Structure 1
Amino acid sequence: MADQPGWAGVGPQLAARLAKLDIRRPQDLVLHLPLRYEDETRLTPIGAARAGMPVQVEGEVQSCEVTLRPRRQLVARIRDDSGTLVARWLNFYPSMQKQLEAGRRVRLFGEVRGGFFGDEMIHPRLRAVDPGEGLPEALTPVYPTTAGLAQSALRKLIGRALNNVPPEELLPAARLPGLKLPGFAEALRTLHQPPPDVDPHGLEMRAHPAWLRIKFEELLVQQLSLRRAYNARRTRHAPVLRERGQLTAALLAQLPFKLTGAQARAVAEIARDLALPHPMQRLLQGDVGSGKTIVAALAMLQAVENGRQAVLMAPTEILAEQHWKKLAAWLEPLGVGIAWLSGSRKKKEREAELARLASGEVLLAVGTHALIEDPVALPRLALAIVDEQHRFGVRQRLALRDKGADAQHPHMLMMSATPIPRTLAMSYYADLDVTVLDELPPGRTPILTKLVTESRRDQVIARVRDACLGGAQAYWVCPLIEESEALQLKTAVETFESLTAALPDLKVGLVHGRMKSDEKSTTMTAFAAGELQLLVATTVIEVGVDVPNASLMVIEHAERFGLAQLHQLRGRVGRGTAESACILIYAHPLSENGRARLKVIYEHSDGFAIAREDLRIRGPGEFVGARQSGLPLLRYADLEGDAELLEPARTVAEGLLREAPDVAARLMDRWLGGREGLLGA
């Protein structure tokens, strides 16, 4: 890494190391808070030290030598009135040998464990002391650090920053609504230099009022950042798409089903947004099968009725093609053409579609990432819809938005079948308007979930045979193998071959991510038409696949899948009137997380309940997905544990932006240093 320019009292080399910790200014140092604390305020007699507990001992060096077996190491023997302890260092410097000369008095801090020659400490922290030297009066903070930056150096830098840059109080008590939190400066001093009477448990568990004050301000800054992005969007111009009602009414009249109450509400909210002169930025979330596609179709028709273009982008070719086929079936009878763009379309077909879009002859397009590539021109783009939005990065969504030819920004609708828990929606999605489809269309059958150990695989195969010979269809999903796509492919092919051999009386198909697009499409079409009874697949079928006659789902090595994936895969069945089941085959031994995930998926069928449990098990990081790259992530606040701080933080953020925007700007500078990320997406 190239050296960073230094800053007051920090040279370029040290600045480069600090930058790895995201510390670029003195004020960043004071917000670099301890991971944990060590108690150096007392000494434990060597004879009383218990194995597995970190303790501080003091004694006289009896001997110290460098041994070469089993490997080069520094071994010292330390004694006090109660016993003797061996200390060993595998990495050491000549200065340490000097500190450990026989007869010197030293303090060691570390974990005691039983060794071949009695109790020992491996790599303890070492300090030479004078006889009778006093002990620290406060707990010792331990900070996140990086190679080449010692704790002692970091403590010194933070101590200096605390004295030289007195933390400014930007939130007077009147703005802390009944939270009884300490001032900012007091909270920081407590965390960096805990007083002797501090509650150590509260500090360790991050429940001390000082921690709550910091966490509140961090949540507040996140809210400020997101609400500022939200307000900035409202100053931009977007095409006004008035509700005309002809095409939308014609589509509703020809549908073989009625919209649910939740769908009707979503359609009305989106229609209102599209008629406004600033860009809509709405997240439409709903459980598997809640009917997001028809909501998207009606929004796209509102653009068409105003002579403007709308596009729908999906993350996989299978899902994009499913959308295209479904939309074409609904809209082409109304005289509305739809272009289909994917990386695998033949050059001639692709060029013909591009020409129709560029001329404005076709107003609707469905596709994969191919939609955001350079040659795609959408001169009349007014609405961009992104399905499974968490799978796309911020830059990809921006690229789609920027396809509009004029200075106006298109309206954006993001869809997700991974329900987002309320606390997550309030924090990481506070820059969006959120619509929830919380009602499933009538006729969806409940899915029975079964957990089966690997040893009963033959019984599962027999169940698949019986179901398929009885007229049903089934999916068999192969294990997820993170390390290697090639290995996953091999497993899928082997599973297909073994099931074809075990089930000679069934027609078995195979679909995986490395197949050519037309091969995948042919297999999926054959399965949908009932020509195949069993489909062996990797997770390419996770979203969007809709075959009402498929009523049995088998997932092998279910413990390797995430909760959202398991819920999505299970949602591929139960789409018709037949009783449906999902069999999760798992292998022993199960990790604690694997066990927790299987328990959740077995006990819950509601996607929102599953999402809440998923947030509890995994934390928000992965949940937010590719959206992360544009968001100020939380370092200290925890959405599960600190949910009660979120509502007041949101209220205070709105008040500050309205009444004290200068204070809001200073708070954001303190925490983000001008790095607000790609919040425009």
Structure 2
Amino acid sequence: MPASVPAKKPAASAAQQAMHKLGLVRDIDLALHLPLRYEDETRIIPLKNARDGETVQIEATVTQSEVQLRPRRMLKVTVDDGTGTCVLTFFSFYPSHQKTLSPGAVLRIRGEVKGGFWGRQMLHPAFKLAGGELPQALTPIYPTTAGLPQPYLRRAIASALQRVQLPETLPPGTPPPVLPYWSEAGLHGLLGLREALYFLHNPTPDVALATLEDHSHPAWQRLKAEELLAQQLSQYQAKRERARLRAPALRVPPPAAGEQSLVEQFLAVLPFGLTGAQQRVCREIADDMARTMPMHRLLQGDVGSGKTVVAALSAMVCIAAGWQCALMAPTEILAEQHFGKLVGWLEPILEPLGKKVAWLSGAQKKKERAAMLALVASGEAALVVGTHAVIQEQVQFHNLALAVIDEQHRFGVAQRLALRQKLAHAGLEPHLLMMSATPIPRTLAMSYYADLDVSVIDELPPGRTPIVTKVISDSRKDEVIARIGAQVAAGRQVYWVCPLIEESEALDLSNATATHTDLSEALPGVMVGLLHSRMPTAEKKAVMELFTAGIMGVLVSTTVIEVGVDVPNASLMVIEHAERFGLSQLHQLRGRVGRGAAASACVLLYAVNDNGRLSDTGKERLRAMAETNDGFEIARRDLEIRGPGEFLGARQSGAAMLRFADLEQDIALLEWARELAPSMLEQHPLLAEMHISRWLGGKAEYLKA
């Protein structure tokens, strides 16, 4: 007898594949796939009562149906409901449509009624044969994708709602959030999670549609509260799990009698004193690193607040304790600038100890790279500075104990995990210090960054001059160029930032090369440099050296100078097509000036569109820049304009943004979830685990980076 052949699994249908594409795998995924909007098919409206422009459902008999060929092929159908007539027009139709829409057929028709010279009309309305009872609930319209029709999705969701297990995960006696529109019954009264979900999929026609659309209905509040709680639980859980890991305890050994410790030597080398805010955050970081629990701290500081010196002092604590430190920056220019500063500050102290500062980048020659890798592996390189090259597989540290990541939102989860794993062979975790010059708005810090300890440098070093910001139409570009000439004649330097390198038909923007040519012609006798990301590294370096040395008067650049570039003599920043830039990027670019004692200005050149208008978003950004220099206020407005996605960068790579809650509108719910999460994890761990699994599935893993 031949061996039985296992039955072949039937291939998934196109609709099932489309559902998987949308992440609709579990019953709970379908239950949480909520409608975008609703249609009211619960009532029949007489045509005589339908207002012009109103979307209504009528029940009418077809009196005439014909295909017309002029001015183009179309199907014209006249219907009569006994109170009036209406002409239905279809530009796209099939023979089956013509059959259904034949004279004598009684139909239910839903569409927008428009009046006109020829009477009432509907363009491409939905229709079906009349019969059967009217629905008792509004008809949900779901987010969908190609190959997944609404009727199929509705049936799948209705079926999932019958099957899905929704045991209560909120601990007994949980107080409800304090909300003006929350029912007095609270969370454990009439509206449980199942009731809330069932209602949102099948709302009764008497509900105010506005409360469904703006998500203020109690059913929506229940869902948003649950979602925010899941997010807070996963953040606190990640923090607790990290607390179980071990890291080297980095304590500075006391110096021999009459000598200074390495940290004291470092402070003596600096050409300036630390501000009070810098001293405070240095203490917070040193206290963290002295513990055996891995530090996971975000250092926030506005542009020019002096984060680099805090990173250097933290590195010195690590080195003094006998361990290695790595500093990783997102761009070659920024990494090189850090390297130059740190070598100047640290090498005089490290050389007598036989230690060095190593440099790693993707553009290094093979021989130089091999020499640096040997220094890192032997431990002779006490500090390793570089780009993504620092986390490549062939980089083997001798004893890495502190990883500093600048502009943390520019790095992905996998990249940060790779840096942490450089110490994994010792069974220890490195301490992690992430830096950001894009301040995190309070609501984001409370939600997506709840697992981090945050230090804030809220004081600028003395001698920094306020930057005056001017918003000017690009029709006045000649005036701006004349201002540049005056600045250069006075011994100052100027940045001119362009958004693109090459012409693009899609975006009618000046490119850096053309601007460089124009400015060189308009400013005879002035050295005008050009810098963009496609230039060879050596060429970029040469241009930056000329500008830093004060030989070059004007630097035309793309946004490669966005972060970290520090030329105190530069006093004017011109940003062309400023309306196209993000708010935090504009703030970063503005921060390249005002770094010395000279009065500094930032000119935002904007261009209007073909209709002579500036977009509403563009206006909001430029207004915010003109009104404030405060990075935290800029960040708050940026969150309002863009939402959380770009603030988080790749931190949430693979993990969903909040689907239902809005951080600005739902602050009361966020505070409720934030307060409940720690006690729920402690006292009701099984309920907490069930709640996280329901809402996040496997996505909580990403928070651990």
Distance 1:98 1:379, change over 3 A: farther
Q: Deviations over 1:611-665 (max 9, x none)?
A: 0001001111222111121534211111111111111101211111101111011
Q: Is 2:559 the counterpart of 1:550?
A: no
Please, which runs of 5 or more residues in structure 2 have no aligned partner? 1-7, 179-185, 255-260
Q: Deviations over 1:250-289 (max 9, x none)?
A: 1112222222222112111111111111211111111101
Asked if 2 retains the 8 angstrom alpha-carbon contact of 1:445 and 1:576, the reply is yes
Counterpart among 467, 470, 493 of residue 447 in structure 1: 467
Asked if 2 retains the 8 angstrom alpha-carbon contact of 1:229 and 1:679, the reply is yes
Which residue in the other structure is 1:220 paired with?
A: 229
Which residue in the other structure is 2:3 paired with?
A: none
Which residue in the other structure is 1:567 paired with?
A: 587
Which residue in the other structure is 1:595 paired with?
A: 619
How far did residue 42 of structure 1 move?
A: 2.9
Which residue in the other structure is 2:59 paired with?
A: 58
Q: Deviations over 1:547-567 (max 9, x none)?
A: 111000001110010001100
Q: Deviations over 1:372-396 (max 9, x none)?
A: 2222111311111111111111111
Which residue in the other structure is 2:85 paired with?
A: 84
Distance (Å, rounded) in 1 between the aligned partners of 2:511 and 2:248: 50
Asked if 2 retains the 8 angstrom alpha-carbon contact of 1:551 and 1:574, the reply is yes
SS at match of 2:156: helix
SS at match of 2:468: strand
Q: How does 1:135-534 map to 2 (within 5 A)?
A: 135-172=134-171, 174-179=173-178, 180-181=186-187, 182-244=191-253, 246-335=261-350, 337-404=356-423, 405-480=425-500, 491-534=511-554
SS at match of 1:363: strand
How far did residue 93 of structure 1 move?
A: 4.5
SS at match of 2:703: coil
Distance (Å, rounded) in 2 between the aligned partners of 1:506 and 1:489: 25
SS at match of 1:244: coil
Q: Deviations over 1:427-455 (max 9, x none)?
A: 11112111111111111110000011011
Asked if 2 retains the 8 angstrom alpha-carbon contact of 1:15 and 1:24, the reply is no
Q: Deviations over 1:286-327 (max 9, x none)?
A: 110111111111111111112211111111111001100111
Distance (Å, rounded) in 1 between the aligned partners of 2:607 and 2:505: 21
SS at match of 1:85: strand
How far did residue 220 of structure 1 move?
A: 0.5
SS at match of 2:535: coil
Amino acid at match of 1:411: H
Which residue in the other structure is 1:674 paired with?
A: 698
Distance (Å, rounded) in 1 between the aligned partners of 2:507 and 2:374: 41
Q: Is 2:643 the counterpart of 1:619?
A: yes
Distance (Å, rounded) in 1 between the aligned partners of 2:160 and 2:222: 20
Distance (Å, rounded) in 2 between the aligned partners of 1:68 and 1:654: 70
Q: Deviations over 1:106-155 (max 9, x none)?
A: 2222334568966543332222213xx65333322221112222222222
Distance (Å, rounded) in 2 between the aligned partners of 1:201 and 1:147: 29
Distance (Å, rounded) in 2 between the aligned partners of 1:675 and 1:347: 39
Asked if 2 retains the 8 angstrom alpha-carbon contact of 1:444 and 1:574, the reply is yes
Distance (Å, rounded) in 1 between the aligned partners of 2:119 and 2:394: 73
SS at match of 1:60: strand
Distance (Å, rounded) in 2 between the aligned partners of 1:648 and 1:48: 47
Distance (Å, rounded) in 2 between the aligned partners of 1:675 and 1:559: 35
Moved more, 450-459 or 165-174: 165-174
Amino acid at match of 1:532: M
Distance (Å, rounded) in 2 between the aligned partners of 1:127 and 1:486: 43
Distance (Å, rounded) in 1 between the aligned partners of 2:621 and 2:250: 44
Amino acid at match of 2:559: T
Q: Is 2:610 the counterpart of 1:585?
A: no
Distance (Å, rounded) in 1 between the aligned partners of 2:360 and 2:506: 27
How far did residue 66 of structure 1 move?
A: 4.6
Distance 1:628 1:119, change over 3 A: farther
How far did residue 95 of structure 1 move?
A: 3.8
Counterpart among 674, 680, 683 of residue 650 in structure 1: 674
Paired-residue identity, %:
58
Q: Deviations over 1:181-209 (max 9, x none)?
A: 43212211221111344232211210011
How far did residue 50 of structure 1 move?
A: 4.3
Please, which runs of 5 or more residues in structure 1 have no aligned partner? none
Q: Deviations over 1:74-101 (max 9, x none)?
A: 4433333444333344554544333222
Distance (Å, rounded) in 1 between the aligned partners of 2:380 and 2:171: 59
Asked if 1 retains the 8 angstrom alpha-carbon contact of 2:501 and 2:513, the reply is no
Distance (Å, rounded) in 1 between the aligned partners of 2:698 and 2:418: 23
Moved more, 646-655 or 58-67: 58-67
Distance 1:631 1:433, change over 3 A: farther
Asked if 2 retains the 8 angstrom alpha-carbon contact of 1:509 and 1:534, the reply is yes
Asked if 2 retains the 8 angstrom alpha-carbon contact of 1:632 and 1:676, the reply is no
How far did residue 419 of structure 1 move?
A: 0.6
Asked if 2 retains the 8 angstrom alpha-carbon contact of 1:243 and 1:271, the reply is no
How far did residue 231 of structure 1 move?
A: 1.2
Distance 1:125 1:677, change over 3 A: farther
Distance (Å, rounded) in 1 between the aligned partners of 2:221 and 2:648: 23
Amino acid at match of 1:371: V
Moved more, 503-512 or 36-45: 36-45
Q: Is 2:126 the counterpart of 1:111?
A: no
Distance (Å, rounded) in 1 between the aligned partners of 2:160 and 2:439: 43
Asked if 2 retains the 8 angstrom alpha-carbon contact of 1:547 and 1:572, the reply is yes
Distance 1:415 1:52, change over 3 A: farther
Asked if 1 retains the 8 angstrom alpha-carbon contact of 2:63 and 2:104, the reply is yes
Moved more, 455-464 or 256-265: 256-265
Amino acid at match of 2:375: R
Moved more, 57-66 or 466-475: 57-66
Distance (Å, rounded) in 2 between the aligned partners of 1:322 and 1:416: 16
SS at match of 2:111: strand
Asked if 2 retains the 8 angstrom alpha-carbon contact of 1:6 and 1:12, the reply is no
Asked if 2 retains the 8 angstrom alpha-carbon contact of 1:394 and 1:630, the reply is no
CA RMSD of aligned residues (A): 2.5
SS at match of 2:136: coil
Distance (Å, rounded) in 2 between the aligned partners of 1:483 and 1:122: 42
Distance (Å, rounded) in 1 between the aligned partners of 2:109 and 2:172: 44
Asked if 1 retains the 8 angstrom alpha-carbon contact of 2:502 and 2:512, the reply is no
Asked if 2 retains the 8 angstrom alpha-carbon contact of 1:244 and 1:302, the reply is no
Q: How does 1:68-79 map to 2 (within 5 A)?
A: 73-79=74-80
Distance (Å, rounded) in 2 between the aligned partners of 1:643 and 1:550: 41
Distance 1:497 1:63, change over 3 A: same
Moved more, 204-213 or 55-64: 55-64
Total equivalences in the alignment: 673
Asked if 2 retains the 8 angstrom alpha-carbon contact of 1:64 and 1:77, the reply is yes
Amino acid at match of 1:591: S
